Amino acid sequence: MGRLGRRGWAAIAIACLGAVVGSGLAWLLFVGVPWWWASGGSSPTVATEQNMPPEPERKIKARLFYVTEDGRGLTPVEHEVPYGADVVTQARAILEAQIAPPSEPLVSAIPAGTKLRAVFVTGSAAYVDLSGEVVTGHPGGSLDEQLTTYSVVSAITANLPAVSAVQILVDGKEVDSLAGHVDLRQPLPAMPDWVR
């Protein structure tokens, strides 16, 4: 250590500075500029939102789906949910509200205790990853299973026009079905028959 002279220290300092400046430039070139380009180029409104201070109270109205009086369909109910800047954030906000236990007299077809693990959107399909409670807490009948499935599918497709089909995953994995009836091996489009 002591043998390192002043010139040595200077060389190290220059090298460090060079590394910092280099990585900064690299970040700007490969991450910053494309991000700025993408956000600035395709959706200027979102870019403006990013620059403004966050508004904690900003909400949108979303239609959520609950079990009808006779138990054989879904009825849409308007709820305020937090605004999401992009489709994934918005989908997440809607699903959090759909999964949350509703206030009386609404009945949710999604088993209590189910948590939202993740949401992905590719093209026009959304992938909704739910926790295992959606299977273990399910009553098991095909009617209830269809109501659970289409509560999730409808909540996304009715509020986000860019998404036309939804695939439910459980604990991060693709599943055959939730309770042994409804085929979940591919994204399902909304089935308007279920909504009254």
Partner 1 sequence: MTAGSLCRPRAALLTGLALVLLVSAVGQLGSQGAPPVGLTVLSRDGRRTLAVSSVADQEFVALDEVAALFHLSVREESGAMTVSYKGRTIVLTTDQTIASVAGRMISLPARPVRSGGRLLVPVEFISRAVASIYDARVDLRRAARLVVVGDLRVPRVSITVDSLPTGTRLVIDLTPPTAPTLSQEGDHLTLRFDADALDVVLPPVQPQGFLQGLRRIDAVAIGIDLGPRYGSYRSSTENLDARTHLTLDLLPAPSEITATPPPAPAPPLALDLPAFGQSTSTLRTVTIDAGHGGPDTGATGSTGLREKQLTLAVARRLKTLLENRLGLRVLMTRDEDRAVSFDNRTALSNNNKADLFLSLHANTSLKPAASGASVLISAFPDEAEVRRTLTPVTVPVFGGGLRDIEIVAWNQAQIRFVERSDLLANMIVESFRGRVPLDTRPLARAPLRVLASANMPAVLVELGYLSNREQETQLATDDFQTTIVQALVDALVRFRDARSAGDSGDR
C-alpha span between 187 and 106 (Å, rounded): 27
Q: Which stretch binds partner 1 (CB under 8 A): 34-42, 50-58, 63-71, 114-122?
A: 63-71
Under the criterion CB under 8 A, does residue 176 sit at the interface with partner 1? Answer: yes
Is there binding between residue 101 and partner 1 (CB under 8 A)? no
**Residue 71 sits in the site that holds partner 1 (CB under 8 A):** yes
Contact 147, 66 (CB under 8 A): no
- Tell me how far apart the alpha carbons of residues 28 and 163 are, in angstroms, rounded to a whole number: 32
Closer Cβ to partner 1, 90 or 149, answer by number = 149
Note whether 99 binds partner 1 by CB under 8 A. Answer: no
Residue 34, classed as helix, strand or coil, is: helix
92, 82 contact by CB (below 8 A): no
Residue 164 exposed, middle or buried by CB count within 10 Å (0-12, 13-18, 19+):
middle
Are 156 and 131 contacting, i.e. CB atoms less than 8 angstroms apart? no
Tokens of 76: 């849409």
The residue within the footprint of partner 1, chosen from 18, 32, 189, 192 (CB under 8 A), is 189
Other C-beta atoms closer than 10 Å to the C-beta of 181 total 16
Closest CA to 170 of 126, 114, 124: 114
Span 104-163, contacts to partner 1 by CB under 8 A? 107, 109, 139-144, 146-147
Residue from 100, 116, 169, 182 in contact with partner 1 (CB under 8 A): 182
Nearer to partner 1, 39 or 68 (CB): 68
- Of 55, 70, 78, 104, the one binding partner 1 (CB under 8 A) is 70
User: Does 181 interact with partner 1 (rule: CB under 8 A)?
Assistant: yes
Residues that bind partner 1 (CB under 8 A): 67, 69-72, 107, 109, 139-144, 146-147, 165, 176-177, 179-189, 191
